[in-house]
Chains A and B, each alone.
Chain A
Amino acid sequence: MLDKTVYLDNAASTRLDERVLDAMKPYYFDTYAVATSEFGYSMGIDAKEGLESARATISSFLGATADEIVLTSGETESSNMAIKGVASALTKKKGNHIIVSKIEDFPVLNTARALEKQGYKADYISVSPEGVLDLEELESAINENTTLVSIQHANQEIGTLQDLKAIAEICKEKDVLLHTDATHSFTRVPIDVSKIPVDLVTMSAHTIHGPRGVGALYIREGTPIHKWMDGGFQESNRRAGLENIPGAVGFAKAVELVTPEENKFLASLRDHTIKRAEEEVPHVTLNGSRHQRVPQNANVTFHYVEGESMTLHLDMRGFAVSTGSACFSRSLEASHVIMGIGGNHERAHGSLRFSFGRYNTMDDVDGIIDAVKEIVAQLRAISPLYEKNK
């Protein structure tokens, strides 16, 4: 029995930082009023102050003003709100066309697909083999009916960073709104909305050791957007529903706790992982860009072996990672990201995503690569593909 799991799946979820929990606790036990009760009693004022202070902290990391931040229940809600909210506000005025990339995460991808079912037209822009958006294709896809372009900042699986500035400039020139899903880049890679003309930004606390079920959407002042959940008048009448004040406070604390030194450290774990995998294991392919990449992600295909077999063997040795293999997913579909970068099922089949966080160490990385080396050799020994190709 292993006493500790080495968790290298921080793109999926992260361990909460105790300091985040400490910051949240008073808003569960002492200041538990709702923020909209500020005119009723003083605890409401304290609650409101907590919420607004959290909002200010989050906005400052984005170069935004506090009232441009709407707190949400996370990535999925933020991206739904951005895309459906803008589509609803602009359909009559502008048209029924939206543009996303082929490698978006499901909140954006499936929102685009859902709009298509309602009569919207969606274009899915290609990416290069490294996962970088084809800017020319984007430019030529924008037409007079386009209401919104939604292109992620960093990819959830292969970690590729898009050139948000170049994308924003194209959108600005064509007078189209731009949303970006920054779930996997926020605080890890700077985004400054005072310099880059992006109109909406999705953020989430769960990737940075904050609470799960908490996120935010940046909405540039003046952006036409409809409310898409009906209810009360919270969040300046932009998002109905009881404010999650402890969650907001936790998110703000999590944002504050990320430091440039930590990001450098994560990058060193990433680089060490890639280096050892490439130098010590034959027949591997790095997925994603070598240089345009978030610090906390490494993704490597180990050819001639299957990902779920690798993750199960790794789990038995106490390591948690994920794979783009169809066998790993409930839908039995291979990763649309690996397919989107021009890979085939084979490339997705043997891919492992290592995503790093605050509680990982260089020993963890060395441990998992040592294990991967043995497991890959063991599985290749029984693979009917290996002998032919080695």
Chain B
Amino acid sequence: MSDRNFLTIEKLTLAYGGTVAVKDLDLTIAEGELVALLGPSGCGKTTTMRAIAGLIQPRQGRIVLAGRDITHVRANKREVGLVFQSYALFPHLSVFENVAFGLRLRSVARDELEQRANEAIGLVGLKGFERRLPRELSGGQQQRVALARSVVVRPRLLLLDEPLSNLDARLRLEMRSELQRLQRDLGVTMIYVTHDQSEALALADRVIVMRDGRIAQQGTPADIYERPSSVFVAQFVGFENIFKAGQWPLPDERDIAALAWRPQAVVLGQGPHQGRVLGASYLGDAVEYLIETPGGLVKAQTPASARRFALDETVSLDLPLASAARLAGQ
């Protein structure tokens, strides 16, 4: 029986000195859910995560985890795990001792300690590396140690702070699916902090987009990707053509602020509007054009196999209303 309100954050306000980083944040996360906190740097996502972990004290608000108000509980008593962006492994301890660290603090008996630590090391695929020191491991392996170290103490909630941002592209994909597998196997509730929209969309059950210390939009990855509610979110998930209602080429609709199209949604070679090709970049599988129109610049992408347009050529284009995202606010 999973708890819908496993983690509840109410009216959370966080500040560093005089700067307010997070303002009146409300957030509810269900047990077993994998939620991504997505946003540009400085949006308050990492600060929020640090407050949940207990590393900063909120100025206002409440944090309730599994029915227990942890707002004023010390970080070492919260039963929350945190995987740091820099991994933060203990440099003087071996892989095994890094993983066993939390178990030793809990005075777990020796047999159980060895069994649980080894199990966690096996879970992240590091069998045989137990005696190595962190500096003898690659970035990906260090990341796995950090994961094992966090899950071995069975936290109620696992926080991950940009865990993949220090890895190269291929490793990032590999670790992404490992994280998903881990979450499925352990059933642990996870909050995943990232500035990378594709990572958030690929991993999470639910995505929470943050901006200036507030929630800009939350929903399933499809909601966020296909139906952004504001100009900010639309830009963040790749809608590059955004036009205000009432301006070219839009109808004057009063309940929306703007319409947005991805470059792939713009139709070239036919349509009611005219534009001039200012630039063309070959992307391999597609060609991206920059087109000057009476209403401003439009970015369009067509398959590489489609008809090509030359620089300065005048083209017809269409911004179909059917493929537009309707944005209610800024």
Judge: A and B partners, yes or no: no
